[in-house]
Structure 1
Amino acid sequence: MKPVSRRTLDWIYSVLLLAIVLLSWGYVIYASTVAAGRQLKKKYPDKIFGNE
């Protein structure tokens, strides 16, 4: 197996870091949307909301 260049390693690490950041932000946005939906459902039980 031939050695990998420093530039290639930097690129791979950058892509991995970007993927981790995007996944974590996606989780934060999803969780806050679910929490907001639950709070709205608790406050206005007779209304129908799109999520859940």
Structure 2
Amino acid sequence: MKKADIVGASIDYIPMTQMSGIQWLGVSVLFALTAGILAFLFIWGRKRLV
């Protein structure tokens, strides 16, 4: 690397072809968590009003 005058190196851990799938997985997990929290708050709030 020194002979080729390379200052830094990078390693691709995740190929770019898989990035969209990983992003959709992350979005779906966050959406499921949000839906679960909202359902819990709605049910808990209804019980407290009654």
Give the TM-score normalised by the residue count of structure 1.
Answer: 0.66
Structure 1: which 5+ residue stretches go unaligned?
A: 41-52
Whose helix proportion is higher, 1 or 2? 1
How many residues in Structure 1 have an aligned counterpart in Structure 2?
40
Give the equivalent residue in structure 2 for 1:32.
Answer: 42
Structure with the larger RCO, 1 or 2 (CA within 8 Å, 6+ apart): 1
CA distance in 2, matches of 1:39, 1:4: 49
Does the alignment pair 1:15 with 2:25?
Answer: yes
Identity %: 10
CA distance in 1, matches of 2:30, 2:38: 12
- Is the radius of gyration larger for structure 1 or structure 2? 2
What amino acid sits opposite 2:30 in the alignment? I
Give the equivalent residue in structure 2 for 1:43.
Answer: none
Superposed counterparts of 1:36-51, under 5 Å: 36-40=46-50
Structure 2: which 5+ residue stretches go unaligned?
A: 1-10
Give the TM-score normalised by the residue count of structure 2.
Answer: 0.68
